[in-house]
Amino acid sequence: MQIHHSEPPNPPYAGNTMPEVKLFACSASEKLAQEIAFYYDEPLGQKVLNRFSDGEMQPIIQESVRGAFVFFIQSTHPPHDNLMELLLCIDAARRASAGYITAVIPYFGYARQDRKDMPRVPISAKLIANLLTTAGANRIMTMDLHADQVQGFFDIPVDHLRSEAIYIPYLENNIDLSNVVFASPDVGGVKRAREFSKHFKRDLVICDKYRSRANQVESITVIGDVSGADVILVDDLVDTAGTLCKAADALIGKGARSVRAICTHPVLSGKAYENIEKSQLTELIVCDTIPLKKNCAKIKVLSTAKLFSRAIRNTVEHKSIAALYHWKNPVNPPLP
């Protein structure tokens, strides 16, 4: 029988006293966690990760978390030790009587496997959701899920942060948008790209791709006019960069003056760095949800630390998370 640790009916408050907040870094997101803790103005909690000779992990929380709001910060990109470490940390905090446990997962791995697209395959995103809930998480905080419906795989609250809160101010302050056209590298990403085109009141084009098998794009057809335009491709992640590079080629072939891309999660596997260096992309702008494996002159990294620190504070203080998305509501101030 599967046991679900649902959200406590009441937050762990003693009268009007605010709960103690504990932020912990896991191995895959240590640098980001340090920055989040800096903006939150709270030191990271003490934790070590022991490894046995056979590779098994044993995280040890080295301070009391009894009754506290606990946040574990860890992206779940490969290797799979990253996911296992997060699950074990959550279990350790639950057994140590933590009051409320939030898994802060800047990049939620396996989100691309959100349905059965062929016979006899798993719905991996649902399985990961079950594992996190069973381990003892009371809440999930993540950014730019590959598919919004993955939120529904959880029976606990999910705070789905949007990278537009980072990218829109950056574009407004650093890019000449007078000649820009936004583009989606595939049909599935149209909704994401449309957010930018609507906000900036610019045209939207679609790159319709035909993929013969995973990570291999056969051809791309550009739907829309990009003649003389500076195109900005919008996607949630970049893996091998094959789609982005072929989309850039197709857009330049249709008369675009330049092509840059904004992709939240830099998975960057296989020959991704080589592909980007050799591509016709002017620039690839990513977030720091996954650390870069190496430097690349064409890749610029934007920090998510301020957004996550604000979201954590709003969670603790029971304030709105949606209020952080100031591009939809001019009353809300930009991130500090």
Strand positions, DSSP E, 62-203: 69-73, 100-105, 139-143, 158-161, 180-184
Catalytic residue among 22, 209, 246, 306: 209
Cβ burial 274-310 (10 Å sphere, 16+ → b, else e)? ebbeebebebbbbbbbbeeeeebebbebbebbbbbbb
Could you tell me how far CA 167 lies from the centroid of its own chain?
A: 13
Q: Do β-strands 69-73 and 100-105 pair in parallel, antiparallel, or remain unpaired? A: parallel
Q: 72, 132, 74: which is closest to 106 by C-alpha? A: 74
CA dist 48 to 27, 65, 89, 111, 164, Å?
Answer: 10, 15, 10, 28, 34
Place of tokens 């595939």: 186
Q: 254, 226 in Cβ contact below 8 A?
A: yes
209 is catalytic: yes
Q: Which residues belong to the active site? A: 209
